[in-house]
Structure 1
């Protein structure tokens, strides 16, 4: 029996986890995001922080004893955690629901328009009270990187040009919109905007280039950390 095609972008609703493994990992990732927010904004005494650090170090050592999978492809090839699309939806650096460093970009399609939303906490701060410009670019890169599937020849980022129109606020839902400009052979051209409420904070144009031998072989040169 074949697994139904997974499409996390069919609606604004966040897709449910593929398995109990990802459900638990999503919960754990949220706990770590919450811990990061508290760490960056609280003022506990030194002894309390050292006590918490000691317990977290113990947890990390216990985690490290479990069977390891390095990278999205490794999880997908394992056969127990869903296909590449499901795993990418969980582990992606910007949109991964099970990745504690991801701001949690959510996106979906309405006809030939891609829409998205994301809220950045204190861990993404650059200028006081605002999102670091590098994270703004990373969010737009991920958003457009997924939106480019509208062109049917998705590839790797060739260039990304971001115009910062206004400072992008922390702790406020940001809205994104992307459209396909054109496709020229292996090249896909995209445009996007970012808004905080009614205020446009950034706009972006991007070029994506499909590798000559396709995206499916990108994992061949991936490196695995040494134990």
Structure 2
């Protein structure tokens, strides 16, 4: 194994000192700009209703994301929905991870077309956050939808793991 390959398997915090969550997320498969294989999704969030923030991103995928011929792989569809729902945690000023997700694949999600993924926070019960998301065709048809439960992480646990909060 080369040094470069070995570095890929070592936690980034141990290579570069303590990283903020935002610095670590820069390599996120869904939204990280530093991940050459990633989806590079750029989300906008709307927290005008602080109890029910929303997030949205426009995207277009190509053959690298293909499952059935001409359509997006189901795992990528799940990733898109999960990523959209995860973006709701920041306007809630929380760090959380996906615990459970359900997906309804309603219609095949086409490649080479401009699409949109949207999400909405539904409610909170203790440490559980309930979110929903949809992938929409250009005419607004819902192609896939999902719901998830996210679990809020304890900031003290993150600090013990070497993460720091981003400075506001």
TM-score range, shorter chain: 0.7 to 0.9
> 1:154 — aligned with what?
95
1:118 Cα deviation after fit: 2.2
Q: Residues of 2 paired with 1:125 and 1:154: CA distance?
A: 31
**Structure 2 residue runs without a partner (length 5+):** 163-168
**Structure 1 residue runs without a partner (length 5+):** 1-60, 221-227
> 2:83 — aligned with what?
142
Q: Stretches of 4+ moved more than 6 A in 1?
A: none
Partner of residue 148 from structure 2, selected from 191, 200, 206: 206
TM-score in terms of structure 2 length = 0.77
Check conservation: 2:45, 2:54, Cα contact below 8 A. yes
- RMSD across aligned C-alpha pairs, in angstroms? 2.8
- CA-to-aligned-CA distance 1:133-183 (integer Å, 9 cap, x gap): 111001211221122233333321111111111110112222111111001
- Higher relative contact order at CA 8 Å, sep ≥6: structure 1 or structure 2? 2
Partner of residue 132 from structure 1, selected from 68, 73, 79: 73
Change (3 A) 1:87 1:156: closer
Q: Residues of 2 paired with 1:100 and 1:211: CA distance?
A: 28
TM-score in terms of structure 1 length = 0.59
Structure whose residues are more often helix by fraction: 1
Structure whose residues are more often strand by fraction: 2
1:213 Cα deviation after fit: 6.1
Higher Cα Rg, which structure: 1
- CA-to-aligned-CA distance 1:61-120 (integer Å, 9 cap, x gap): 7x939x9474454466367xxx4314413x111212221221221101123321112222
Q: Residues of 2 paired with 1:153 and 1:138: CA distance?
A: 20
Check conservation: 1:151, 1:183, Cα contact below 8 A. no
